[in-house]
């Protein structure tokens, strides 16, 4: 089986990297075995980026390797260490690559060197228990999982970015013409369909430099699949002008330049989208005596139809200068009207609802199905082997209003609740009115061992509250001593250091 060297259509399966998981960790050191949560966050996964590279002219690399995967993010670790970011995977594509999804919808048209398209976004990393801690949840015993990256099937289609496009019958001399006016060296032979892939050449006319592309021979019936030309017409969709290369020395009976031109225009009309392009006509092979005679016969008739006609010979070079300068004139005019395309970065974002908190509840034969951006993302982040993490998910869904809406729609305890897309969903038993973690002695996510005991703070507050009721001779220290030992001092007023002070002693050096 022959190995193709030019590929202009491929299907590509891309998978962005998964985000790293957060970690549940507790800080420990000597004399401080429970120093608080210190679990780090997971790193985000790598994205997949398509980037226009002017040195790439074919999609053959993706023909041989149609699956590409980016690097996953690193997992978090203790001591507040976050996971590393997954490396982005950059895929170089030729200038003029059109990206479509599996349904054929155009996602982006990549033109201009350096233009980038983030086709698959890496997954977000999960939060560690340090990031989940709050005043009401001081010691979370769980962390969130990293989210999976985008995964999709795309199609890449190359449309060569050329200034002038050559169309014509097989063996009309398109490849010879390109070889004559540029340094391109396509395969040339005297049999039909020598050109099997589009050729591209760079031409300089005066101070204007432009590119010229040809397509394999276009014959009558190409729109029904005959020949090769119709399949490659996409490569001249971006051209500023078209040049009809007409063979004036063909040996086939019944053919003449006027009829060939009519056939080509008919096929272009069937293809569509090229009606507004300026046309030039190159009557090729006038170096052959019969070719020159036929050219002289039809040239005035073609010009009478408003066409710019040039008798040329790719073999001898006759008329090539006039033809290239006419091409350059059209290119200059087209460039003056066209804005210069700058490199840009395109990021595909899925359409979202106006309210990110919105969700839908639908009754199905399998149960109550809940769908929405937040519920589905929370499910992907949950470690279902950890009861506390499942309780955290239940509390989040309850705060969002999922339970209330289920009850309002008639759901009863024990009903099946399905969250997520049909292809990837999680099934729960509906138990309304029960707060997750209610069976624990403490709130869910709290550990009484982490409760900080602060008796000094309470003592200062009690002293401050008792100060307005102190006696005339009492100081703050008197109030504190009375509060500490009410059975000894009672409400009696005394002055610290006086003989009324029960702690006074003759031996006291300060007495």
How far apart CA 360 and CA 348 sit, in angstroms, is 24
- Mark whether 123 and 172 lie in a shared domain: no
- Mark whether 152 and 180 lie in a shared domain: no
Q: Determine if residue 215 is labeled as part of a ligand binding site.
A: yes
Residues contacting 261, CB < 8 A, separation 6+ = 244, 246, 281, 302
Q: Determine if residue 142 is labeled as part of a ligand binding site.
A: no
Q: Determine if residue 195 is labeled as part of a ligand binding site.
A: yes
- Mark whether 326 and 443 lie in a shared domain: no
Q: Determine if residue 169 is labeled as part of a ligand binding site.
A: yes
How far apart CA 498 and CA 475 sit, in angstroms, is 13
- The answer to the question of residue 313 being in a domain is yes
Q: How far is CA 282 from the centre of its chain?
A: 45
Q: Determine if residue 141 is labeled as part of a ligand binding site.
A: no
- Mark whether 143 and 36 lie in a shared domain: yes
Q: Determine if residue 214 is labeled as part of a ligand binding site.
A: yes
Backbone angles phi, psi at 344, to 5 degrees: -140, 165
Strands (E), 315-438: 345-347, 359-364, 367-372, 416-421, 424-429
Helix (H, G, I), strand (E, B) or coil at 276: coil
Which tokens is 177 given?
């013409």
- Domain hosting 398: range is 359-450
How far apart CA 406 and CA 403 sit, in angstroms, is 5
Q: Count Cβ atoms below 10 Å from residue 328 Cβ, excluding itself.
A: 20
- Mark whether 191 and 293 lie in a shared domain: yes
- The answer to the question of residue 211 being in a domain is yes
Q: Which of 96, 131, 158 is the last residue of a domain?
A: 158
- Mark whether 105 and 209 lie in a shared domain: no
Q: Which of 429, 450, 471 is the last residue of a domain?
A: 450
- Mark whether 318 and 193 lie in a shared domain: yes
* Count of domains forming the chain: 3
- Mark whether 208 and 255 lie in a shared domain: yes
Q: Determine if residue 417 is labeled as part of a ligand binding site.
A: no
Q: Determine if residue 196 is labeled as part of a ligand binding site.
A: yes
Q: Determine if residue 83 is labeled as part of a ligand binding site.
A: no
Q: What single DSSP character describes residue 21?
A: P
Strands 164-168 and 367-372: unpaired
Q: Determine if residue 246 is labeled as part of a ligand binding site.
A: no
Q: Quote the pTM value.
A: 0.70
Closest-CA residue to 73 (of 82, 61, 88, 83): 83
Q: Determine if residue 423 is labeled as part of a ligand binding site.
A: no
Each residue's pLDDT tens digit in the chain (511 positions)?
444 556 778 999 999 999 999 999 988 887 777 778 999 999 999 999 999 998 887 888 898 899 999 999 999 999 999 999 999 999 999 888 999 998 888 999 898 889 999 999 999 999 999 999 888 788 898 999 999 999 999 999 988 778 898 888 887 788 888 888 887 665 554 545 455 567 778 888 888 888 888 877 676 655 555 555 556 777 788 888 899 898 888 767 667 888 888 888 888 888 888 888 899 999 988 888 888 888 888 888 888 888 899 999 888 888 899 999 999 999 998 888 876 666 777 777 765 544 456 888 888 888 888 988 889 899 999 998 888 888 888 888 888 888 889 888 888 888 899 987 777 788 888 887 654 433 333 444 444 544 555 566 677 878 888 888 887 788 888 888 888 777 666 654 444 444 444 544 444 444 4
Residues contacting 397, CB < 8 A, separation 6+ = 370, 375, 378, 403, 419
């Amino acid at each position: 089986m022959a190995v193709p060297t030019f590929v202009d259509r491929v299907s590509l399966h891309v998978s962005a990297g998964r985000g790293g998981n957060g970690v549940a960790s507790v800080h420990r050191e000597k004399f401080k075995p429970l120093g608080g949560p210190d679990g780090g966050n997971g790193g985000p996964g790598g994205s997949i980026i398509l980037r226009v590279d002017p040195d790439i002219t074919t999609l053959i690399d993706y023909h041989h390797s149609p699956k590409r995967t980016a690097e996953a993010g690193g997992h978090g670790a203790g001591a507040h260490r976050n996971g590393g970011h997954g490396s982005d995977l950059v895929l170089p594509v030729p200038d003029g690559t059109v990206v479509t999804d599996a349904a054929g919808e155009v996602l982006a048209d990549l033109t201009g060197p350096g233009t980038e398209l983030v086709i698959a976004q890496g997954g977000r990393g999960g939060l560690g228990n340090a990031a989940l801690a709050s005043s009401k949840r001081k010691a979370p015993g769980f962390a969130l999982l990293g989210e999976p990256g985008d995964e999709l099937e795309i199609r890449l289609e190359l449309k060569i970015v050329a200034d002038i496009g050559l169309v014509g019958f097989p063996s009309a001399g398109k490849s010879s013409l390109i070889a004559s006016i540029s340094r391109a060296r396509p395969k040339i032979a005297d049999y039909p369909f020598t050109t099997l892939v589009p050729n591209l050449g760079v031409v300089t006319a005066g101070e204007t430099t432009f590119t010229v592309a040809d397509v394999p021979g276009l014959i009558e019936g190409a729109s029904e699949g005959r020949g090769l030309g119709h399949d490659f017409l996409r490569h001249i969709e971006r051209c500023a002008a078209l040049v009809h290369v007409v063979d004036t020395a063909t040996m086939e009976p019944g053919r003449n330049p006027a009829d060939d031109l009519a056939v080509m225009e008919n096929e272009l009309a069937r293809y569509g989208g090229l009606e507004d392009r300026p046309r030039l006509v190159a009557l090729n092979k006038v170096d052959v005596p019969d070719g020159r005679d036929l050219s002289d016969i039809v040239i005035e008739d073609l010009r009478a139809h408003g066409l710019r006609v040039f008798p040329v010979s790719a073999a001898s070079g006759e008329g090539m200068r006039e033809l290239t300068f006419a091409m350059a004139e059209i290119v200059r005019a087209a460039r003056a009207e066209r804005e210069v395309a700058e490199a840009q970065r395109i990021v595909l974002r899925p359409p979202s609802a106006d309210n990110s908190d919105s969700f839908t509840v639908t009754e199905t034969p399998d149960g109550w199905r809940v769908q929405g951006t937040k519920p589905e993302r929370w499910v992907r982040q949950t470690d279902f082997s950890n009861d506390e993490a499942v309780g955290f998910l239940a509390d989040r869904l309850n705060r969002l209003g999922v339970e209330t809406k289920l009850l309002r729609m008639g759901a009863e305890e024990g009903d099946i609740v399905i969250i997520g897309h049909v292809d990837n969903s999680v099934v729960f038993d509906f138990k309304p009115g029960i707060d997750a973690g209610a069976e624990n002695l403490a709130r869910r996510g709290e550990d009484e061992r982490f409760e900080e005991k602060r008796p000094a703070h309470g003592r200062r507050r009690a002293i401050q509250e008792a100060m307005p009721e102190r006696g005339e001779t009492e100081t703050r220290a008197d109030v504190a001593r009375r509060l500490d030992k009410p059975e000894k001092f009672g409400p009696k007023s005394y002055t610290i250091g006086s003989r009324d002070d029960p702690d006074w002693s003759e031996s006291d050096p300060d007495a």
